């Protein structure tokens, strides 16, 4: 994949940020002591992705001490709603450790009542302040929804969920459909009553879309209005 002009600031940031990663890194215990605000949570994800892209990953909080620490409870700072695709593990692409992320994964990062309930649990009971809907390049579920007239078994429910994005991007490429699907899910979550909509409107919760590129490893946060 060719480097996009929009990636140049990100790539330059990789060089400078990773020099100081060891000095600026926040420990798991310090992070658990206070509720992290949405903007800070987003910054932590961005910094972790920079480390991943640049090859300077820290693989933080993945040892026996952290495992024992978490036996008494969890304090993740972000929810990641991602695709089931084996190439996009949120803990890896954001260079995070045990207990940092509350992750829900479905093919095509689609949602249903159970998924929303899981997100509500994370937001209401463990006080997560950021939800990220993470789609990705060359998504098989998106491709199937665009190209398959009918699907067998329960796969059809996934195709149906992506259907509105397919219809909205007729004549455009798969990336456009993926972006539309991400935006649809973000809007659905932001307007979900009774819990998520209220928290978004009060500023306590931020729900964002994001797009992962397979070749570069870059996660780009999307402007969803």
DSSP 60: -
How are beta strands 206-212 and 219-222 bridged, if at all?
antiparallel
pLDDT at 62: 87
Mean pLDDT by groups of 10 residues along the chain of 225 residues = 55 46 45 75 97 93 91 94 96 96 96 96 95 97 86 88 96 96 98 96 96 97 87
Burial of 33 (0-12, 13-18, 19+ CB in 10 A): exposed
Domain boundaries, the chain: 5-222
Give the helix, strand, coil percentages of the chain, each rounded to 5: 50, 10, 35
Which helix (H) or strand (E) covers residue 187, if one does?
Answer: helix 174-190
pLDDT at 16: 45
pLDDT at 9: 58
pLDDT at 5: 57
pLDDT at 34: 61
CATH 3.40.1050.10 for domain 5-222, yes or no, is yes
> Across the chain, which distance is largest between two alpha carbons, in Å?
53
pLDDT at 148: 76
Cβ(134)–Cβ(212) below 8 Å: yes
pLDDT at 15: 44
pLDDT at 225: 77
């Amino acid at each position: 994949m060719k480097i996009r002009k929009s990636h140049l600031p990100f790539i330059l940031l990789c060089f400078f940020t990773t020099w100081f990663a060891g000095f600026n890194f926040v420990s798991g215990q310090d992070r658990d002591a206070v509720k992290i605000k949405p903007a800070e949570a987003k910054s932590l994800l961005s910094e972790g992705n920079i480390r991943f892209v640049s090859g300077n990953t820290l693989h933080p909080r993945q040892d026996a001490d952290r495992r024992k620490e978490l036996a008494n409870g969890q304090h993740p700072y972000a929810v990641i709603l991602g695709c089931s695709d084996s190439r996009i593990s949120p803990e890896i692409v954001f260079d995070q450790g045990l207990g940092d992320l509350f992750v829900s994964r479905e093919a095509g990062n689609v949602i249903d009542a159970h998924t929303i309930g899981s997100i509500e649990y994370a937001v209401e009971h463990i006080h997560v302040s950021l939800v990220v809907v993470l789609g990705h390049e060359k998504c098989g579920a998106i491709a199937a929804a665009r190209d398959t007239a009918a699907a067998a078994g329960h796969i059809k429910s996934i195709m149906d969920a992506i259907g509105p994005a397919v219809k909205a991007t007729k004549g455009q490429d798969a990336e456009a459909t993926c972006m539309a699907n991400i935006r649809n899910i973000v809007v659905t979550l932001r307007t979900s009553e009774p819990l998520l909509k209220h928290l978004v409107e009060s500023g306590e919760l931020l729900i964002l879309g994001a797009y992962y590129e397979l070749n570069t490893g870059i996660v780009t946060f999307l402007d969803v209005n």
